[in-house]
């Protein structure tokens, strides 16, 4: 195939089939359909029911950070046996897990961190423009841009955090010159408690209601003629001679001109069928909803405890923790309590006794952020297949990066030329 001709078979009349109805798959389907291609989506449960459901909904530029940051492994090791730690590592006797940790550690050098940050920040440049475009096209994105308050219990930690952010942002988005300290810090958001001794606002940062956003994308797809198969699981592929010609699903076979695997944590299994398994691990996170008075008006980042709060609809969603304990969706109530306790340092005593949480909170949720060991997603053609593509591994940033991923990948599929911004997100970087 020559690059200029685009992905082969696109003119065959068969659809491009997107596997996975999470935010990444839905956005990719949207931009493929917007380019005039026939598209189908296959989702094993309901749209937006995976990691794209209970997350914090942040759409932000100021957290373009890949998780393997310098010092993170030391931090993780200190969490051993401490399930209340913000980053909790439960070692598993699984060679794939150990290999993943080894590569994670190797990726946490200052140079690798900076390269990863730059790659994500560059990809992220057009994120808000794309959200504006989706809204202009009638997609119910639910995006608002109240700004994000970074809150800290110690002024020194706040200053350190802002200094690192300033250096990494490198002028790509506006940051304040200084942190607000002392009693004035809590004036940045009415919900903050007197325990907050320093804070700063990053103006313009956004938030969506993740469930409503997925629903809005689903409705836009249906309206534009995309066939959406819910409760249909892809179980394999027909792929003679390096080209995928069809998918086997629990509801029958679907012929395809091309396929995009955007199946979150389950992408690895599907990619194994195409000879390219990915070393994905779940970075499990927890969230729940609660009615607070006063409720936060901004998205809040609780610096020392690495927890967050988001105004979502009429309620507040509190979330956090990064748990490396294998690829499962088991909800550990101790982690829910840990997130709630962490938030009390910043929001004040919104509950007295952890036992009261059962009645105070709604929708306790656990989700697996799909993580590759270097913390960056793969957005690429699947090696060895000229019409198979993958978009997964978005870790903490799938909602933020969903539109830009879909937009760039649709361009790649349509033209056959990899957009420059996708260079750092190739399969090839994970070899070795
Ligand atoms: C606590 C928490 C808070 C977070 N907060 C934020 C945030 O504020 N901002 C942000 O940008 N990101 C956030 N994230 C990360 C974000 O949620 C993920 O990066 C994102 O949802 C990943 O989307 P996805 O489409 O890749 O995966 P998913 O949403 O998991 O979608 C994959 C879909 O594929 C389907 N599927 C799997 N296998 C098959 C198959 N064989 N056949 C058919 N369908 C299949 C699944 O059912 C699923 O619906 C957070 C995550 C957590 C856990």
**pLDDT tens digits, 231-260:** 999 999 999 888 999 999 999 999 999 999
Q: Which residues line ligand 1 (CB under 6 A)?
A: 19-25, 42-45, 49-52, 55-58, 233-234, 262-264, 266, 270, 285-287, 319, 367, 369-370, 392, 394-400
**From atom 1 of ligand 1, which residue's Cα is the shortest distance away?**
285
The closest-lying atom of ligand 1 relative to the alpha carbon of residue 23 is: 25
Note the pLDDT of residue 130.
98
Checking if the pLDDT of 106 tops 80, the result is: yes
The mean-pLDDT minimum among 83-97, 216-230, 343-357, 358-372 falls in 83-97
Query: Which pLDDT band, with edges at 50, 70 and 90, does 151 fall under?
Result: very high
| Per-residue model confidence as pLDDT tens digits over 179-214 | 999 999 999 999 999 999 999 999 999 999 999 999
Q: Considering the chain, what is the average pLDDT of its residues? A: 92
CA of 198 to the centre of ligand 1 (A): 33
SS (H, E, C) the chain: CCHHHCCCCHHHCCCEEEECCCHHHHHHHHHHHHCCCCEEEEECCCCCCCCCCCCCCEECCCCCCCCCCCCHHHHHHHCCCCCCCCEEECCCCCHHHHHHHHHHHHCCCHHHHHHHHHHHHHHHCCHHHHHHHHHHCCCCCCCECCCEEEEECCHHHHHHHHHHHHHHHCCCCCCCCCCEEHHHHHHHCCCCCCCCCEEEEECCCEECCHHHHHHHHHHHHHHCCCEEEECCCEEEEECHHHCCCEEEECCEEEECCEEEECCHHHHHHHHHHCCCCCCCEEEEEEEEEECCCCCCCCEEEECCCCEEEEEECCEEEEEEEEEECCCCCCCCHHHHHHHHHHHHHHHCCCCCCHHHHHHHCEEEEEEEEEECCCCCCEEEECCCCCCEEEEECCHHHHHHHHHHHHHHHHHHHHHCCCCHHHHHHCCHHHCC
CA of 88 to the centre of ligand 1 (A): 20
CA of 22 to the centre of ligand 1 (A): 5
CA of 188 to the centre of ligand 1 (A): 31
Average pLDDT, stretch 361-389? 95
Average pLDDT, stretch 89-113? 85
Checking if the pLDDT of 2 tops 50, the result is: no
Percentage of the chain modeled with pLDDT above 90: 76
The best mutation among 43, 48, 50, 124 to test binding of ligand 1, ranked by most ligand atoms within 8 Å of the C-beta, falls on: 50
Between these two residues, 84 and 227, which has the higher pLDDT value?
A: 227
Query: Which pLDDT band, with edges at 50, 70 and 90, does 4 fall under?
Result: very low
Confidence (pTM)? 0.95
Between these two residues, 300 and 92, which has the higher pLDDT value?
A: 300
Checking if the pLDDT of 418 tops 70, the result is: yes
């Amino acid at each position: 195939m020559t690059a200029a001709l685009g992905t082969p078979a696109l003119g065959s009349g068969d659809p491009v089939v997107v596997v996975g109805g999470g935010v990444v798959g839905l956005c990719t389907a949207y931009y493929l359909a917007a380019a005039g291609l026939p598209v189908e989506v296959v989702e094993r449960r309901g749209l937006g029911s995976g990691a794209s459901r209970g997350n914090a909904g942040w759409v932000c530029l100021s957290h373009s950070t890949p998780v393997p940051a310098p010092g993170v492994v030391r931090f993780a090791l200190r969490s051993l046996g401490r399930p209340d730690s913000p980053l909790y590592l439960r070692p598993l006797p699984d060679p794939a897990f150990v290999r993943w940790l080894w590569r994670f550690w190797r990726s946490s050098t200052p140079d690798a961190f900076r390269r990863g940050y730059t790659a994500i920040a560059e990809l992220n440049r057009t994120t808000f423009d794309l959200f504006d475009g989706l809204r202009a096209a009638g997609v119910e994105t639910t995006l608002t841009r109240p700004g994000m308050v970074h809150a800290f219990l110690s002024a020194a930690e706040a200053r350190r955090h802002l200094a690192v952010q300033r250096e990494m942002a490198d002028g790509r988005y506006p940051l304040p010159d200084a942190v607000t300290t002392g009693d004035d810090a809590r004036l940045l958001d009415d919900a903050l408690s007197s325990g907050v001794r320093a804070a700063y606002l990053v103006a313009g940062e956004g938030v969506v209601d993740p469930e409503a956003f997925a629903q809005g994308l689903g409705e836009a797809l249906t309206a534009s003629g995309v066939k959406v198969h819910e409760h249909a699981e892809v179980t394999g592929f027909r792929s003679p001679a390096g080209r995928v010609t069809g998918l086997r699903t629990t509801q029958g076979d679907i012929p395809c001109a091309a396929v995009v695997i955007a199946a979150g944590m389950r992408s690895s299994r599907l990619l194994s069928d195409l000879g390219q398994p990915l070393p994905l691990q779940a970075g499990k996170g927890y969230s729940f909803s609660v009615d607070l008075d006063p409720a936060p008006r901004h998205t809040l980042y609780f610096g020392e405890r690495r927890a967050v709060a988001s105004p979502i609809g009429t309620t507040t969603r509190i979330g956090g923790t990064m748990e490396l304990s294998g690829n499962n969706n088991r909800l550990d109530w101790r982690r829910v309590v840990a997130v709630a306790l962490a938030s009390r340092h910043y929001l004040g005593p919104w509950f007295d006794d952890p036992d009261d949480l059962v009645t105070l909170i709604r929708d306790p949720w656990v989700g697996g952020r799909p993580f590759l060991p270097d913390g960056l997603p793969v957005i690429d053609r699947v090696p060895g297949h000229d019409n198979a593509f993958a978009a997964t591994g978005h870790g903490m940033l799938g909602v933020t990066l969903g539109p830009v991923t879909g937009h760039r990948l649709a361009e790649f599929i349509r033209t056959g030329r990899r957009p420059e911004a996708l260079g750092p997100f190739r399969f090839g970087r994970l070899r070795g």
